[in-house]
Amino acid sequence: MKKFAYYDTGHEFPEEIVMAAGFTPYKILGDVNAPNDPADRYIHHYICPFSRSCLTEGMAKSHEWVGIAFCHGCDTTNNQYDIWKRHVKTDFLYWINTPAKNDATAMTYHEHELRRFIAHLETHFKVTVTDDKLKAAIQTSNRIKRLMRELSALRATKDISNTSYHDLTRKCVQMEKNEVIAELEAARERWRNQPPFPPDRIPVLLTGSDITYGAVMEILEAARLRAVRDDLSLGERYFAETIDETIDPVKALVAYHTRIPQPPTRIPFERRLEFLKKCLWETPVSGVVYQILKFCEPHGLDLPFMTGELKKTGKKVIVIEREYTPTMDQQLVSRLESFREIL
């Protein structure tokens, strides 16, 4: 099945629409191992390195994708669409202006945006996206979300490495969906038979910038911290909620996006905080790791308020800023080890 790529700095993109159109949604996640030089010709070095990596991937790989869609996310996404339009070769580049709010007006508008996207897909690719196809896609998507919830829950009780979990979350947004289901079912069997949660590991809640490569997870592992809960887009934000299968599918998608753990690009930020508190209440964790990718503005803006609120829960919180690099940052490891000592 042909891949349809999307650039989304949260979990805004309606994968189900692309699935109903007969394509495999592919989330552009960049490649931390590849230098950003191609993108640096067009974007300043003080702008999100992840976004530059995505542009680098876009310029190199767009021929593998039938089209690309952007969702309104952080300022980085919003402003870089124009650069992609100039420098990434594709026959179909589309902008979905997902709203920054979740109220009734925003939901009406969001529905319009999704229907418009469907119409453009139908016209350009000469396909028909029926309600039945959408409902089938939603069912597939929900199946993945339920499986991921089961797998995610095992993190707190079994010996599941941070990297193993992260690998699955990446597959969810990049692989063909039926293959994902097979992978997840196989993983469920393996994970159920894993030894119990190791006593030398400390369970933590992981939040902050989206983690798009495994090295960050390895840093946590090296510090003997296990992320047993999170609110990341490659993580629980993606599967914490399921999509209503009983109502109009487009309306269901709109409603779904208001219920998920909110990304920092949406307001009000209480919704995100509520989810994090719920994680702390549901799962025994020893502390919170709040990591921020350098130059990540939405999380930088949320940080003082969110960390203050999280500390009020009585949990210890560590804030770390990380570079966009595949290398194991030993300074971060040391800091996290020290953090572990105080937990």
Partner 1 sequence: MIKLTRFIWNNPGLFAKGVKGYLNQPVTPRLAQIILQYLNQTKLTVLQPWKRFGVFSAGFPTEIPAAMGYFPGYPEAYAALTGTAGCTVPPIEHAESLGYGRDLCSYMKTSIGACRMGWPEDFGGNRVADAYFSANLVCDTHLKWFEGEARLHGKPHFALDVPNLVAGESDERLEEYVDYVEAQFYDMIAFLEKETGKPFNEKKFFEIVNDSAEICRLFRELFEYRKRFPANAYFEWVRMFMLPMVSQWNQKDAIRYYSKELKKAQKRYKDQTSIEGGREKYRVLWEGITLWYNADLYQKVLAERGAYVVCEPYTYSFAGRSKPKGSLKETLRQMARDQIIVPFTLNLDRRIAYFNSLVEAFDLDGVILHANQSCRPSSTGLFDLQEALQKKWGIPVLMMNTDHCDPRAYAEGPMTTRIDGFVELMEAYVRRKGEGGPPSPENMKIKGGV
| Residues at the contact surface with partner 1, assessed by CB under 8 A | 41-47, 70, 72, 74-76, 78-83, 85-86, 95, 97, 99-101, 103, 105-106, 108-109, 112, 116, 264-265, 267-269, 292, 294-295, 297-298, 300-305, 307, 319, 321
Of 225, 231, 230, 204, give the one whose Cα is nearest residue 286. 204
Residue number with CB closer to partner 1 (45 or 312): 45
Contact between 321 and 237 (Cβ < 8 Å) = no
In angstroms, rounded to a whole number, what is the distance separating the alpha carbons of residues 61 and 29? 12
Residue 260 C-beta: closest distance to partner 1, Å: 18
Which 8-state DSSP code applies to residue 341?
H
Strand order in the sheet with 287-293: 225-230, 202-208, 287-293, 316-322
Q: Which is nearer to partner 1, 150 or 309 (CB)?
A: 309
Specify the residue, 39 or 144, whose C-beta has the smaller distance to partner 1.
Answer: 39
Within a 10 A sphere around the Cβ of 4, how many other Cβ atoms?
25
Q: Cα-atom radius of gyration of the chain, to the nearest Å?
A: 19
CA angle 287, 293, 295 (to 5 degrees): 135
- Residue closer to partner 1 by CB (options 35, 268) is 268
Residue partners of 171: CB distance under 8 A and separation at least 6:
180, 183
335 dihedral zone (left: phi>0; alpha: psi -120 to 50; beta): alpha
Strands 202-208 and 287-293: parallel
Of 249 and 298, which CB lies nearer to partner 1 in the complex structure? Answer: 298
The Cα–Cα gap between 291 and 230 comes to 11
Nearer to partner 1, 104 or 342 (CB): 104
Min dist CB 304 to partner 1, Å, is 4
Burial degree of 8 (CB within 10 A; 0-12, 13-18, 19+): buried
Three-class SS state of 211: coil
Q: How far is the CB of 309 from partner 1 (least distance, A)?
A: 9
- Smallest gap from Cβ 68 to partner 1, in A, equals 13
Query: What are 245's two structure tokens?
Result: 């299968």
The distance of closest approach from Cβ of residue 318 to partner 1 in the complex, given in angstroms and rounded to an integer, is 12
Cα distance between residue 171 and residue 69, in whole Å? 19
**Smallest gap from residue 276 Cβ to partner 1 (A):** 15
Of 115 and 190, nearer to partner 1 (C-beta) is 115
Query: Min. distance of Cβ 84 from partner 1 in angstroms?
Result: 9
Minimum CB–partner distance for residue 75 and partner 1 (Å): 5
Q: Which is nearer to partner 1, 95 or 197 (CB)?
A: 95
